[in-house]
Structure 1
Amino acid sequence: MTRTTPPRPYDLPALFPALEQYAQAAVRLHPRRGEPTAVESSIGGPLLWPAKEAWPACGLEHEDCADEPHAYTLAWRAYLEDRDRREREGGLDWEVERRRAEELEERFAAEDAGIAPPLIPLAQLYFRDVPHLPWPDRYDLLQVLWCPRDHPDAETPYNPVFEVRWRRAESVETVLDAPPLPLVCNGDYVPNRCVLHPESVTEYPLTADLPAVLAGEIRAWEERIGNGTAYDWDASVAPGWKAAGYGGSWGIIDPYPVRCECGERQLPLLTASSGEFDGGTGGWRPVEEAGTEWEFADPVGVTIGRGYTLQLYYCPASEDHPNRTEMF
């Protein structure tokens, strides 16, 4: 099913012609719960991974205060979905449900084995579905994995860490059927399996990342119309899971150019979000889902920090240069 962003309430290029030079294409991924296969684009779905290629593991130090058995995370989510279904079909005995939840927790126990834990799939993006990805002359598939635990010594501390693979799908002869799973995880970092409904949109930089004169004109316009979020929240940058574009609202630190070690400015590759929209960005909800309230607000089920966004960057000079991350 197609997902379509409603027309923005303000025509930014008409209001501010100088913005045209800063326009960037982004792809809203619109993940929705489903059962994708390895030959489809997905969030949290199976990867088209060569059987002969080693599965990546994380060698960094982990903070374990939020860890729980990975199998429990999956079983708990399945229980909640079943409970919600039963509640819709009739009343629940909440004392019985409490005992069921306690019994489920007691069934699972796992500790960090002290070895490098395997990563889990985060995103698989086929170029045929997701335009505007780099190097389409050499690749047609982007795979992103991450370690679903907190990392105190990572570039963006106390977050998952990413690993990227660029591929030609035709080069994968035999697909790995059963990749290894970690024993423990932070449940907030385990995505639900989602199919994608990609949509290309145009984004513009936030006012904090624009030249001072242009940013001042935009703020003065917002003051005149009595809407202090008209540009940043309502019109310039789409919320949710995305590829390319500008990313999201810098709310924790001030914007800065993300530089590669080679000196090149790195660009957004994938934006992992704590939801598709919130109370301030509900106007970005697809027209096909109008009136659905919060049903599709967080299909992936990932939470970054206190509801933030984690962005993965790439160096346009070479896919072999290290990727960088930032949380905002």
Structure 2
Amino acid sequence: MEKENATLLTEFVLSGFSYQQEWQIPWFLVFLVIYLNTTVGNLGLTALIWNDSQLHTRMYLFLGSLAFVDTSVSSIVTPKMLVNFSAKSKMIFLSECMVQFFPFTVSETTECFLLASMAYDRYVAICNPFYPVIMTNRLCMRLFVSSFVGGVLHAFIHIGFLFRLTFCNYNMIYNFYLHHFYCDIIPLFKISCTDPSINFLMIFIFSAIQLFTIFIVLVSYTLILFTVLNKKSAEGIRKAFSTCGAQLLCVSLYYGPLLFMYVCPASTQADDQDMMDSLFYTVIIPLLNPIIYSLRNKKVIDSLTKMLKRNANRCSFFIKRTHNCTG
């Protein structure tokens, strides 16, 4: 009877970080700088790959797609966080939650599949002499499209099951606070007055799919390691570790927080721990990805250097021409 008489809620408070008032502007500036660097880095890497014909290969197709997805993740989460730093009211409607959650899930799931595809691509390139025959452009495009379609289906399923939940204030007022800085589904499950067992079951089912992508990554890099060590070539070992080491580091940093967030039982996760894990893979990882992949990749560095020199020469020519016209 108490539940039936409870007032249904359609808006929540994104409580976000706990900080002293004097830290409001410093935190805002920190995350603003992170967001700007993330956007410039990832979009710059995507544009560089798009404009340089020498980078129109299978590996860089995946790398450019990954950079674009990282930009999407950061742009979905960080602007709302920045607004909440300066806003008096941190209320968010349930409809806004769903609008934010859908593209976020699409991007995160697509990234998981892209990371697995990149690992498989590196395995075939290093371990199989028939790489051009196996990893055709058609297969790469199928992997890319399948990654995106899988992300969309994943998001639709969770949104569909989210509609079965109701939220009410029959209990403590803290129940309609989301101790988070963006709308993720697990905090919503925790404050639902409808039994979310089925929703948690769907989380675990799809977590198994994500675990399969981790399995592909681990198997691919393990086979690469054995293949490189068997060749006993110092140059080959250095090149393989230079290329794959950066990718493996990036994958490890990305999957680690996801495992704690969605694979570990929700009851064992404190709200603060959930929020820090979310902060890592939604804000920090998109910032690190272009740095890790670009600074460890000679072709990307060479392409960037050529582009900067070409633009510098154009600017110099334009300045000289303007000076001669005015003179």
| Range of TM-score over shorter length | under 0.3
TM-score, normalised to structure 1, is 0.26
Choose 1 or 2 for highest CA Rg: 2
Bigger proportion of residues as helix = 2
